[in-house]
Structure 1
Amino acid sequence: MTITRHVLGLSGGRDSAALAVFMRQRHPELDLEYFFTDTGKELPEVYEYLTRLEGYLGKEILRLNPDRDFDYWLKTYKSYLPSAQSRWCTRQLKLRPFEQWTKSYLDDGDTVISYVAIRSDEDYREGYQSTKSNLMTSLPFKDAGVDKAGVIDILDGSGLGMPSYYEWRTRSGCTFCFYQQKIEWVRLKERHPEAFEEAKAYEKNAMDHGSPFTWSHGESLLELERPERQQAIRKDHEKRIERAQKRLKANPLRPDTVIDLDDLYGNAAKACLTCHK
C-alpha cells in the first residue's frame, strides 16, 4: 500500500521556521515530517533555534547527516573550496542526504510532497527540481501571498521570534558560507573566532593546492582580518545602512521594518535555497 508523505526541510533560518509554524496552524491534519540536513559546520545558534522550534512544534526534527563529511568532499574536489561557480557543498552535504532519505519512499511508490519556504515576494526562486514524478514541491507561502513581513509576523505571533544570529548575520548554514558578505566575516571573527580560524585554515589549504577561490570574493581571510581592512568594511556597511534608511518609506503599521543584509547588498537571489531558507 502506497501513502503520501509530507516533508518540510528546516535550515535553522527564518523562512523555513515560519513555514513550519504556518503549516502547523493552517494544516494540523497533515502528519508533517520535519528534517534538518546537518553539515556539521553550522552555527551554534542554528542548533539552539532548532531545539526551540521542536518545543513549539511538539515533534522531533529529524537530523539528516551526510554519509561523508566536508573534509572528505574537499579532498574529493582536489582541495578547491566550494564557490558560487561550484556549489559542491550544497550538492553533497544538503541535497544528497535528502535524496538518500527519500529514496526508499519513492522506490516503494509513495508520493512525497516537499514543502518549501519560498515567499510570495521571491519570484526569482524555484523549489527543488526532482526527476522523480512522485516527488513534488509545494510552495504554501507563494500560494497564500506571505512575504518577508508576513514571515516575521508569523514568528512574532508564535512567540518564537527570529533566530538570534539575525542580530549579526542574515543567513543560516555553514559558518564559512561563501555567500556571506564581508561584514558577516568580520562579525564571525568577533562572535565565533574559532570558526573563523577554521575557515582560514581551510582557505590556506585550498590556496596551497592551487584553488582559484577564496571564501570572500577578491581577498583572503588573512587580508580581510587586518584591523584597517575591518575598519573599512565596517565604515562601508554603516554607509549602506544610512542609504537604505533614507530610501525606506515610512510605514506606521511597521515602524520597526527589518533591513536585511540582502537588502543592503542585493545578494538574496544568488544564495543557496536549500541552505538558507
Structure 2
Amino acid sequence: MTERHVLGLSGGKDSAALAIFMRQHFPERDIHYFFTDTGKELPEVYEFLGRLEGFLGRPIEYLNPNRGFDFWLRQYNNFLPSPNTRWCTRQLKLEPFKRWVRPWLNDGDTVISYVAIRADEDHREGMVAQHENMHVRLPFREHGIDKSGVVEILEASGLGLPAYYSWRSRSGCTFCFFQQKIEWVRLKQVHPDAFEAAKAYEKTALEHGSPFTWSQRESLEELERPERMAQIQADYELRKQREMARRRPNPLRQQLEGAVDIDDLFLEDEGGGACLVCHK
C-alpha cells in the first residue's frame, strides 16, 4: 500500500499558490498535480498552467472527461447548468477526478488531497471524502495563509497572477454562470468568439425550454445591447469607487490591499459563489 498525494489546479490563483507553497515547504512529498480540462477554458488558463508547470519542475496531468460539454448538454435536454443544477461540475470535473484516483483506492492506497481553501474563508469547506482511504487537507488554513498571503506567494515566485485577473475574477469555463455581468461584458470585449459561442448555447437551450440563461434575469442577447453594456460598466465603476472610499489604507501592505478586484464587488444576484473544484 502506498500514500498518494494529489493537488488539483483550477488555473486560478489559490490552487497555483498552494502548489508553489507545497513545493517550497514540503519538497520531499511526491505530489501529483492535476488539472481537469473541460475543453471550454480560457486560453489564459492554459498559458498560466504552462508557466506554473515550469516552476514546479514536474508535469501537470490533464484529466479529461470521457464525454464533453456538448454531450452532457444533450443528456440534460439542453438545459443549461446553473448554481442550483451544477451538472457541469459533476460530470466534467468531479467524475474525471474520481476515475483517476479509483485504481489507487481500489488497491488500498491512501490518497491525500490538498485543497486551496484559505485561512480567511471560514465559510468554505473542502470536498467531503467519500472513501475511507481518501483524506482532504487544507494547508492554507493550517498555516494561516489568507488572500494577501496567496498574492505574496505568487509574486515572490515570479509567476504573478494569471492574466485574466485583469478582467475576470476567477478561472473556469468561458461561459461559467457564476460570472458577474461586468465579466460577461468583458468576455465579449476580450474573447468575442467565446461570447458568441456562449450565446449560441443559450439560444439552443431557450429553444428547448430551458428555464435558465447564463446571466440571471437576462439573456446574453439582451446583455450585449450597447446601452445595456454601458449601464453595466457604469454600475460597476460606481461600486468600485464606493469600495475604494470605504477601505482604510494600510501603508505596510498598500500594494496588496489597496487594489480593488472584481471578486470584492460581486453582487449576490449577479453571480458570486463559485464551485471550489473549478475556481480555486
Give the TM-score normalised by the residue count of structure 2: 0.97
Contact residue 115 and residue 137 of structure 1 kept, 8 A: yes
Cα drift, residue 262 of structure 1: 2.2
Cα drift, residue 270 of structure 1: 2.0
Letter in 2 for 1:264: L
Contact residue 35 and residue 63 of structure 1 kept, 8 A: yes
How do 1:71-82 residues align onto structure 2 when only pairs under 5 Å count?
A: 71-82=70-81
Contact residue 125 and residue 269 of structure 1 kept, 8 A: no
Counterpart-to-counterpart distance in 2, 1:9 and 1:87: 19
Worse overlay, 263-272 or 55-64:
263-272
Contact residue 49 and residue 163 of structure 1 kept, 8 A: yes
Aligned to 2:266: 265
Pair 269,129 (structure 1): closer, same or farther in 2 beyond 3 Å:
farther
Give the TM-score normalised by the residue count of structure 1: 0.98
How do 1:51-62 residues align onto structure 2 when only pairs under 5 Å count?
A: 51-62=50-61
Counterpart-to-counterpart distance in 1, 2:131 and 2:230: 50
Counterpart-to-counterpart distance in 2, 1:4 and 1:66: 25
1:198-237 deviation line (CA, Å, top 9, x unaligned): 0000000000000000000000000000000000000000
Letter in 2 for 1:108: D
SS state at 1:137 partner? strand
Cα drift, residue 130 of structure 1: 2.0
Aligned to 1:19: 18
Aligned to 1:46: 45
Contact residue 124 and residue 269 of structure 1 kept, 8 A: no
Counterpart-to-counterpart distance in 2, 1:255 and 1:148: 14
Aligned to 1:214: 213
Counterpart-to-counterpart distance in 2, 1:266 and 1:160: 30
Contact residue 172 and residue 276 of structure 1 kept, 8 A: yes
Counterpart-to-counterpart distance in 2, 1:79 and 1:130: 31
Aligned to 1:191: 190
Name the Cα RMSD after superposition: 1.0
Worse overlay, 182-191 or 267-276:
267-276
How do 1:115-264 residues align onto structure 2 when only pairs under 5 Å count?
A: 115-256=114-255, 257=257, 258-264=259-265
Counterpart-to-counterpart distance in 1, 2:267 and 2:187: 20
SS state at 2:254 partner? coil
Pair 269,114 (structure 1): closer, same or farther in 2 beyond 3 Å:
farther
Cα drift, residue 253 of structure 1: 1.2
Counterpart-to-counterpart distance in 2, 1:259 and 1:95: 32
Cα drift, residue 263 of structure 1: 1.1
Cα drift, residue 81 of structure 1: 0.2
SS state at 1:8 partner? strand
Cα drift, residue 131 of structure 1: 1.5
Counterpart-to-counterpart distance in 2, 1:262 and 1:172: 12
Worse overlay, 85-94 or 124-133:
124-133
Counterpart-to-counterpart distance in 1, 2:53 and 2:192: 28
1:30-58 deviation line (CA, Å, top 9, x unaligned): 00000000000000000000000000000
Unaligned runs of 5+ in 2: none
Counterpart-to-counterpart distance in 1, 2:104 and 2:263: 37
1:92-142 deviation line (CA, Å, top 9, x unaligned): 000000000000000100000000000000011111112201011000000
Cα drift, residue 266 of structure 1: 5.1
SS state at 1:133 partner? coil
Letter in 2 for 1:100: R
Counterpart-to-counterpart distance in 1, 2:73 and 2:129: 26
